[in-house]
Amino acid sequence: MAAKLRAAYLAPPFPADRPMRKAYLLTLLVALPVVASLPTFFSWIEQRPGVLPPEPLLHHLPAVDLSVPLFVLLYATIAYGLLRLVRRPELLLRGLQAYVALLILRMLTLWSWTLEPPPGLVDLADPVTQVFYPGATPFRKDLFFSGHTATLVLLALAMPTLRDRLLVAIAAALVGLAVLVQHVHWTVDVLAAPLFAALAWWCSAYTLRGSLRRPTSGAGA
């Protein structure tokens, strides 16, 4: 039994499956131009005039800097999720494709409904995503919808067990609350995040099926 467990642990996380390898490569080729375009896109968004959405909640919440606990929770949860998915290559592939779809959806929503920053905003400088924003100061118009919240909701959808889904969903709710308390998002940004995460996950079912299409057997031809 111990030998089997060691073998499972030491086995490579990605199987020697040619369609799977091709699907990962295709996903990377689609993701690279999307990610590379983000600095230019956000620089353009920064120059656009925005609107103020209806806001029922923020004026009841004191603006508090929760940057450190927010990022500890966010990236610890992402690391946990990736560790749970690394031995499930097809599920991980779907999650990556869904995340690319989520990035595209965010670009579309930011373009179609640009918002002004909420009053009382406390700057949130993400140590990872800040490299994709223009300038050295935190970007304030990355609003509709909340990317941090949507990322964790998407990760929850990708989790292999109910326990994992619940844990990541709780983390997503806490991150959504934190960005509201810090006034870096409007309420509508956080409420919309799960809907767009679910849409990205739904789209990934079709992209996964297409990218993993295996050649049919020639028998009977």
CA distance 211 to 62: 47
pLDDT tens-place string over residues 50-100: 999 999 999 999 999 999 999 999 999 999 999 999 989 999 999 999 999
Minimal CA–CA distance to 153: which of 185, 194, 192, 187? 194
Sorted by where each begins, the domain ranges of the chain are 64-211
Question: pTM for this one?
Answer: 0.86
Cα Rg of the chain, angstroms: 20
Minimal CA–CA distance to 185: which of 110, 127, 132? 110
pLDDT tens-place string over residues 97-109: 999 999 999 999 9
Question: Is the model's pLDDT at 8 over the cut of 50?
Answer: no
Cite the DSSP H helix spans in 11-123.
18-36, 38-47, 67-85, 89-112
| Burial zone of 5 (CB within 10 Å; 0-12 exposed, 13-18 middle, 19+ buried) | exposed
| The pair of three-digit structure tokens given for residue 94, joined into one six-digit string | 């779907």
CB 62 within 8 A of CB 157: no
